[in-house]
Amino acid sequence: MKWLWVPLAGYFALPLVATAVLSLWQGTRGYGFAAYVTLIHTPEMWNSLFLSARLAVETIIAGLVILVPAVFWMNLRLQRLRPVFDFLSVLPLVVPAISLVAGITAIYTGPDWLVGTANFLVIPYVILALPFTYRALDVGMRALDLRTLTEAAQSLGASWPSMIMRVLVPNLITALLGAALLTITIVIGEFTFANILLFNTFAVYINHIGSTSATQAAALSLLAFLLTWLAMLGVALGGRRAAR
């Protein structure tokens, strides 16, 4: 089976290597970092990256504030609703993004700070991140003996908020971290919503630059890829630290 690694590694590595080579191509001036230098000096790139980062943070906060109590309660008291939760959580994976965006724009009207700005994207992003956030939290909570811990805290005099903040959240750090990092990768890479709703997020900018400068697009894709991998590495390391 050892020989299988060669084509497999090539299958994954070749596109990356090709992208890297293209990003370093300077036409008649040979190879160099010109594309990267130009990118770094492009304010639009930074603006789009910051926008995506801000949306990621907002999505993480909104997602966790909704899901931590919901998954906690489901695990503690509503076990029989688990199939419903499981079904709901995979819906965003089954429903195409395009139909989501059409539905959401039709339904949501509201104050200008929400509908008129990129903050509006947080709503679909929370939905898009739902399968991953839900899974991460559910796995984290199932690993704990939630009922016993809750009752122990109660019998010692802890109120619900005190129980959630002092016992539940500290024991879910790995799960929360995993959910957060997965959300970041989703938000950074999301294109359909942002593009249709005309917001200049990182993914939209990558697409835009792709139609103007092939080498810069290659460079940016590579950076985005790196960012995603760092996030994944974060999940893996966080998981290992908690498993010690």
Partner 1 sequence: MISLEAVSLRKVYGSRTVLADVSLALAQGEFVSLLGPSGCGKTTLLRLVAGFERPDGGQVRLDGRDIIGVPAAKRNMGMVFQAYSLFPNMTAEENVGFGLRVRGEATEARRKRSREMLELVALGEHMHKYPHQLSGGQQQRVALARALAIRPALLLLDEPLSALDARVRVQLRDEIRRIQREIGVAALFVTHDQEEALSISDRVAVMEHGRIAQLGEPAAIYEEPESLFVARFVGQMAEFDAEVDGGGVRIAGHTLPAARAAGHAPGQRVHFFLRPEHVRLVEPAAGLPGLVESRTFNGPTTTFRILLEGAGRVLATVPTVEARHAPGETVGITWDPSAPRILKLDGGAPPPDA
Q: Does 128 bind partner 1 (CB under 8 A)?
A: no
Token code pair at residue 209: 């630059």
Shortest CB 71 distance to partner 1, Å: 18
CA–CA gap between residue 60 and residue 183 (Å, rounded): 6
Shortest CB 190 distance to partner 1, Å: 34
Nearer to partner 1, 47 or 171 (CB): 171
Q: Give every CB contact of residue 19 below 8 A, 6+ residues apart in sequence.
A: 218, 221, 222
Residue selected from 13, 66, 156, 237 as contacting partner 1 according to rule CB under 8 A: 156
- Count the residues of the shown chain that bind partner 1, applying the rule CB under 8 A: 18
Nearer to partner 1, 137 or 204 (CB): 137
Identify residues 170-199 at the interface with partner 1 (CB under 8 A): 170-171
- Say if residues 158 and 219 touch (Cβ distance below 8 Å): no
CA–CA gap between residue 181 and residue 187 (Å, rounded): 10
Q: Does 151 bind partner 1 (CB under 8 A)?
A: yes
Q: Does 164 bind partner 1 (CB under 8 A)?
A: no
CA–CA gap between residue 145 and residue 151 (Å, rounded): 10
Q: Does 148 bind partner 1 (CB under 8 A)?
A: yes
Classify burial at 100, counting beta carbons within 10 Å of its beta carbon; exposed 0-12, middle 13-18, buried 19 or more.
Answer: middle
Residues that bind partner 1 (CB under 8 A): 144-145, 148-149, 151-159, 162, 166-167, 170-171
